[in-house]
Amino acid sequence: METVGGADEQKNSGLAELRRVSRKAHEAVDEAFSRFDLADPQSYGAFLTAHARVLVGAEVYLSRHASSVPVWRPRAELLKDDLCQMGLAVPAVQAECLPESDGTAMGVLYVLEGSRLGGRVLSGRVGEGLPRAYLSAFHQKGEWPAFLEQLGQYLDESDGARRQAVTEGAVATFGRFRKSAELQD
């Protein structure tokens, strides 16, 4: 008997492959950020700083590809506001070195949109009285499945080079987040 998940993966084999190939990079990010205690103001500030170092630049990159990626809602200003409320500076953004391609942009967007799911869980761990606008910027009803549908269609209709660009964009973005987390004290 075919399950719903199995049907989705057959329908979107490119999406299943992206998840499989980027899984280790995703797990490394989760591990790198797991050391932050979001209830502790200092640790939470370091967490936000690590995110800002990557997210701000990633959103600038995506804005250059706005006509070729699905509609998305930026969160950089929410993150900057949270840092400001905590009396913290917005860190220097990591230098961009991603290829300017629509496929790469789709991979970057996959990571950023996926991080909204984690934000839903993490926002509940933020200490009382600490700002949480960035982590509380959840997907609106139906946004995540719609995005996955668009990404899956893009992957399934793409040639090998475009699929590879998506994967490389996702893995590189996961890697940037991991490195940024590791830089924090």
* Percentage with pLDDT > 90 across the chain: 84
Question: Containing domain of residue 91, as a range?
Answer: 24-183
Q: Is the pLDDT of residue 8 over 90?
A: no
CATH assignment at residue 81:
1.20.910.10
pLDDT tier at 93 (50, 70, 90 boundaries)?
A: confident
Q: Is the pLDDT of residue 6 over 70?
A: no
Q: What is 45-105 written as a DSSP string? A: HHHHHHHHHHHHHHHHHHHTTTTTS------HHHHHHHHHHTT-PPPPPPPP-----HHHH
Whole-model pTM?
Answer: 0.90
In a domain, 155, yes or no: yes
In a domain, 6, yes or no: no
The H or E element containing residue 109 is helix 102-122
CA distance 154 to 165: 12
In a domain, 13, yes or no: no
Q: Is the pLDDT of residue 96 over 90?
A: no
Number of structural domains in the chain: 1
Closest CA to 21 of 111, 105, 102: 111
Per residue in 103-160, pLDDT (tens digit) is 999 999 999 999 999 998 999 999 999 999 999 999 999 999 999 999 999 999 989 9
Give the pLDDT confidence score for residue 125 in this predicted structure.
96
Q: Is the pLDDT of residue 7 over 80?
A: no
In a domain, 148, yes or no: yes
In this structure, what DSSP letter does residue 36 have? -
In a domain, 11, yes or no: no
In a domain, 2, yes or no: no
In a domain, 47, yes or no: yes
In a domain, 147, yes or no: yes
